[in-house]
Amino acid sequence: MGATINAFLRKQLVTRRDRLESAAHHRGHSAHVHVLLKEVDRALAGMEDGSFGICEICHEAVETERLICDPLTRICLDHFTTQEKTALERDLELAAEVQKALLPQHPFQHQGWDVCYHYEPAGLVSGDYCDIIEAGDGSFYFVVGDVSGKGLAASMLMTHMHAMFRTLMSVKLPLTDILKHASRVFSESTLPNQYATLVCGRAMPDGTLEICNAGHPPPMIVRDGVVEELDSADLPIGLFVAEEFSVSNLRLLPGEGLVMYSDGVSEANNTSGTEYTSHRLSNVIRSSNGVDASALVAACRDDLTAFRGQARKTDDATLFVLRRQRA
């Protein structure tokens, strides 16, 4: 386990210890609080003598992701009983349901815009984030993001991003300020080596778009069969506390669109280890000229699925299409 993760977990444990002590102080020493305090102390002592994160049964390393979710875990997954494994699977299924419920309604139609997406976790839960939020003045915000890492820990960060962006957007700040705040909150509340790439934008009823890209694969602008990438040099959010972001302005005419995707799409592998690539994606978009948002999402999704074949999914994949309706 890395030194940064260890430092993070130690901080978590110390905070927990403080809370437990104050709970014990206010409510008297309940047996449960006492047991928890003992466990936190045992974990902290383990950090000193090097036994923290080592399975008590087989002496192999406990899964880092499980330690992040629960630093008091003392045995690795191998020794779970069938019953315990079933309970864990049920937890994961519940997490997946919670995550699904956070996804925006689609197809979404608003002020001459059509939005449609495809959201595909590699496992039960995903570290990808996509959202559509009406601003109340005819415009709406959209976000397509990807949290570093995979699985449960990434999905927890994804739900954190969801709440954070919904809060920031309700205050109606300029896009660059939304990203600046989001980056600060994210870097202060996550592990030091965790970050998120994302494209965040605002679509106006007259077809104009404001777009910020924080280290995410460049969105593709689709104009009459021509596909062009919208480049940006900004960094992912959460890398540094104080980051600056730039905004691009563009205008889409009726029939024109914007395609965003996570690297789980462009970096998907087939059974012989070949990468899907953004080039192949842009070819599919070009050859689907003239179709509506949901048909374009379906064409991209079907091509990706066909390409991947029986290959194991290794990363979460998201495709997100925004298109001006034809007059």
Six-digit token pair at 168?
């920031």
Which one among 7, 14, 57, 87 touches Zn ion, defined by CB under 5 A? 57
User: Which of 13, 20, 76, 285 is close enough to bind Zn ion by CB under 5 A?
Assistant: 76
| Cβ 57 vs Cβ 81: under 8 Å | no
* Tally of CA atoms within 13 A in the half-sphere of 119 that contains its CB: 24
Q: Is 36 in the site for Zn ion (CB under 5 A)?
A: no
Of residues 57 and 87, the one with the C-beta less far from Zn ion = 57
Q: What is the nearest approach in angstroms of Zn ion to the Cβ of residue 61?
A: 9
Distances (CA, A) of 236 to 123, 179, 183, 197: 24, 10, 8, 5
Q: Any idea of the CA torsion for 196, 53, 78, 159, to the nearest 10 degrees?
A: -20
Report d(CA 165, CA 182) in Å as an integer.
7
Number of residues that bind Zn ion (CB under 5 A): 5
14 or 58: CB nearest Zn ion: 58
Work out whether 23 is an interface residue with Zn ion (CB under 5 A): no
Residue type, 15: T
Residue 163: is it exposed, middle or buried by C-beta count within 10 angstroms (0-12/13-18/19+)? exposed
Contact code string over 37-56 relative to Zn ion, x by CB under 5 A: ------------------x-
Does 163 interact with Zn ion (rule: CB under 5 A)? no
Q: Contact at 8 Å (CB) between 113 and 324? A: yes
Residue 241 in contact with Zn ion, rule: CB under 5 A: no
Can residue 116 be called a binding residue for Zn ion (CB under 5 A)? Answer: no
Displacement of CA 218 from its chain's centroid (Å): 17
Task: Give 50 or 136: the residue with its C-beta nearer to Zn ion.
Answer: 50
What's the min distance (Å) between Cβ of 224 and Zn ion? 59
Question: Does residue number 94 form part of the binding site for Zn ion (CB under 5 A)?
Answer: no
At its nearest, how many Å lie between Zn ion and the CB of residue 66? 11
In this chain, which residue has its C-beta nearest to Zn ion? 55
Determine, following the binding rule CB under 5 A, whether residue 67 of this chain makes contact with Zn ion.
Answer: no
Query: What residues line the site for Zn ion (CB under 5 A)?
Result: 55, 57-58, 76, 78
